Structure 1
Amino acid sequence: MTLLVTGGAGFIGSRFVLDWLACHQESVVNLDALAYAGNPMNLAALDGDPRHRFVHGSVNDGALVAALLAEHRPRAVLHFAAESHVDRSLAGPGAFVATNVDGTFALLEAVRAYWQRLSGPAKPAFRYLQVSTDEVYGTLGPLDPAFTEATPFAPNSPYAASKAAADLLARAWHRSYGLPVLITHCSNNYGPHQFPEKLIPLTIERALEGAPLPVYGDGLQVRDWLYVDDHCEALRRVLAEGVPGRSYNIGGNAEHTNLDVVHRICALLDAQRPRADGVSYRAQIAFVADRPGHDRRYAIDASRMATELGWVPGTAFDDGLARTVAWYLSRRDWVDAVKDGRYRDWVASQYEARA
């Protein structure tokens, strides 16, 4: 038995592959284009493991995907591959449409053709799992109820719009063709191996560099934080027990403002890697011009996961954040390898110009 995972060298995808192979003997074919955030170092623990086959390629390459499906005959496809950073989508939306929309279409068509040729028990047992984001739902007010699976899509960024389009394609392929599709919408993931353009690793790295810690606007935007290993556990549960055609919200039950998250990171660094001058890292916080169309609040109602699939997040935010900070402090080799010139140029253009 085999899984085909797309985007399995990225942050969440690689963590899923590692966790899957730690829990199962079932092999994984891992297709990743190795764009800027895809990193083979994330999979170093699997070197020499015959259960893991890495393939360098794009989901947009329908012929390659079809060949992999024909050769390995997976029982499920898990689609992680995506451009995923809102700020980059504002600067260059075309790449997000190409990967997230066109790539999902190409993948769905290859998977549909493969699934339609299956026979016997393999056909009804097959699953396609679309991994998506809560950002497709738009923004909430401070007292609004959390997003449920019935919340209408109202994306406010090119990234969120491209993911909403991909989800609607997957839904349509289920309704139109019967493809057994599962869709998940997760809240903000954090944990080891996250590319340091996202809030938590960016703050850690800027703090250690002695650079300003950029906080958009007033810093009071609220996000629900989900430890990546909890997310992977939820995905395994959806794959095993989810109902085709249904979507599942996955959240961490941990709403915090961006400013609060930065303060917590500073406190952890003050304790574990204090500045030479004894001043708190909070002194480096710098409020910068807000992101255009910045969503004010996300909140996830994950009660369907609890009542139907028996899953609840197992990691308290303070515990997960402490583990994450400790990992970045201990894995300077990984961090130094990903912080190349392109990364530094991006950070400079994105934040220093906003100061």
Structure 2
Amino acid sequence: MNILITGGAGFIGSAVIRYIINNTDDNVINVDKLTYAGNLENLSEIENNERYQFEKVDICNRLELEKLFNKYKPDAVMNLAAESHVDKSINNPNDFIYTNIIGTYQLLETSRLYWKNLNNKAKAAFRFHHISTDEVYGDLKDSNHLFTESTPYMPSSPYSASKASSDHLVRAWQRTYGLPTIITNSSNNYGPYQYPEKLIPKTILNALSGRSIEIYGNGLQVRDWLHVEDHARALYFVIRKGKIGESYNIGGDNPMTNIHVIHKICQILEELSPSKPKGIQKYKDLIIYTKDRPGHDVRYAVDSKKIKHDLNWKPDLSFDKGILDTVKWYLKH
């Protein structure tokens, strides 16, 4: 199978590509415009594999997308291209509207016109898999509820609103045109290769450099943490076995507060890197509490029963093992 993956030089996209190349016989076409968060070094271990191709293309460029579809004739599309940092979306929503909404539209239309002209067998096998986030559902506040696939969308930030918009477009293209689409919504990802604007790598690198570890508000915001390698495996299960028109929530079964995560990282660093920057007694002494960001959701937690039951997937990595391996990776790299 030829799988065209957008955003493949990013954190999650590169994990998906590494998984496919290392564990299957499928071919991968990586389409990425290489913004600040895209890094081809994430794919250095497989870059010379004959089943892997890279094309530097912006998904908002319809003409270039059409050329790629005609050249590689994909059997499936996995759309991971997105602007994804909430803070950046608050300060400058424009890039998020452009890439996450307009880019998804251009990719949908290119896929639809390509799919429409396939022969019956290829048409029946084609899939468009859109990768999204649990943030489209909004805020669970202090309840004990979980996000399910039928939870109404109530996005809080420009980022989550742009992803919700793209999800709606994907559903509309399936309903109106019959394009065989599937959507997945995952919880917070962590693991190797993550760009250091996100909580876990930023905490690790700031601690090692002796810089302040900033946390919004009281630090009691709850997130469900999913290791990126578990997520990559789930996404491949979906493209292979997922049902057209369905959505699947993907979670790590690791809900915990942000402050707990930060304390856990500091504890691991005390053991693995006891030599600290001058003047630092304990890594946790670097923690400072800052003003909460606008519209900050208190709690996210997804119900993954559907993908576990329907596709026989479950996360393999516990958070304790995953976070230890992640800290070790950042220390090494």
Q: TM-score, normalising length from structure 2?
A: 0.98
Aligned AA for 1:134?
D
Q: Deviation per CA, 1:234-253: give whole Å up to 9, x if none.
A: 11111111111000000000
Q: 1:278 to 1:86 in 2, by over 3 A?
A: closer
2:295 is aligned, of 276, 288, 293, to 293
Q: Tell me if 1:103 matches 2:103.
A: yes
Alignment of 1:167-316 (within 5 A): 167-276=167-276, 279-316=281-318
8 Å Cα contact 1:148/1:300 also seen in 2: yes
Q: Give the Cα separation in 1 of the matches to 2:245 and 2:281.
A: 53
Letter matched to residue 330 of structure 2:
Y
Cα distance in 1 between the residues matched to 2:47 and 2:299 = 40
Q: Distance in 2 between matches of 1:144 and 1:68?
A: 46
For 2:76, the equivalent position in structure 1 comes to 76
- Aligned amino acid, residue 327 of structure 1: W
Distance 1:53 1:163 in 2: 27
Alpha-carbon deviation of 1:120? 2.6
Instruction: Classify the secondary structure of the residue corresponding to 2:45.
Output: helix
Scaled by the length of structure 1, what TM-score is found?
Answer: 0.92
Contact 1:4 1:28 in 2 (8 A): yes
Conserved? CA contact 1:275–1:281, under 8 Å:
no
Q: Deviations over 1:144-167 (max 9, x none)?
A: 310000000000000000000000
Distance 2:207 2:43 in 1: 27
- In structure 1, distance between residues paired with 2:270 and 2:204: 11
Aligned runs of 1:332-351 on 2, under 5 Å?
none
Q: CA deviation at 1:278?
A: 7.3
Q: Give unmatched runs, 5+ long, in structure 1.
A: 332-355
Q: Offset at 1:217?
A: 0.5
Aligned residues: 331
> How far apart, CA to CA, are the structure 1 residues paired with 2:141 and 2:154?
14
The residue type paired with residue 317 of structure 2 is T
The offset of 1:20, in angstroms, is 0.5
Per the alignment, residue 33 of structure 1 pairs with 33
Tell me, in whole angstroms, the C-alpha distance in 1 between the residues paired with 2:175 and 2:5.
Answer: 23
RMSD: 0.9
What do residues 224-274 of structure 1 show as CA deviations (whole Å, max 9, x unaligned)? 000000001111111111111000000000001000000000000000001
- Rounded Cα–Cα distance in structure 2 between residues aligned with 1:210 and 1:169: 45
AA in 2 matched with 1:63:
L
Q: Indicate the SS of the match to 2:173.
A: helix
Secondary structure of 2:44's counterpart equals helix
Could you tell me whether the CA contact under 8 Å between 1:224 and 1:299 is conserved in 2? yes
Query: Does 2:18 match 1:10?
Result: no
**Contact 1:28-1:51 at 8 Å conserved across structures:** yes
Is 2:210–2:280's contact at 8 Å kept on the other side of the alignment? no
Contact 1:241 1:309 in 2 (8 A): yes
Hey, what's the Cα distance between the residues in 2 that align with 1:171 and 1:245? 7
SS of alignment partner, residue 179 of structure 1: coil
* 2:325 match: secondary structure: helix
Which residue is 1:136 aligned to?
136
Q: Deviation at 1:43?
A: 1.0
Residues 141 and 297 of structure 2 are in contact (CA less than 8 Å); yes or no, is this contact kept in structure 1?
Answer: no
Distance 2:16 2:86 in 1: 22
Q: Distance in 2 between matches of 1:98 and 1:236?
A: 27
Of 318, 321, 342, the match for 2:320: 318
After TM superposition, give the deviation of residue 47 of structure 1 in Å. 2.9
How far apart, CA to CA, are the structure 2 residues paired with 1:167 and 1:280?
44
Q: Which amino acid aligns with 2:143?
A: L
Q: 1:93 to 1:278 in 2, by over 3 A?
A: closer
Residue pair 2:104, 2:166 contacting (<8 A) in 1 also: yes
Shift of 1:9: 0.1
Q: Tell me the CA shift for residue 24 of structure 1.
A: 1.4
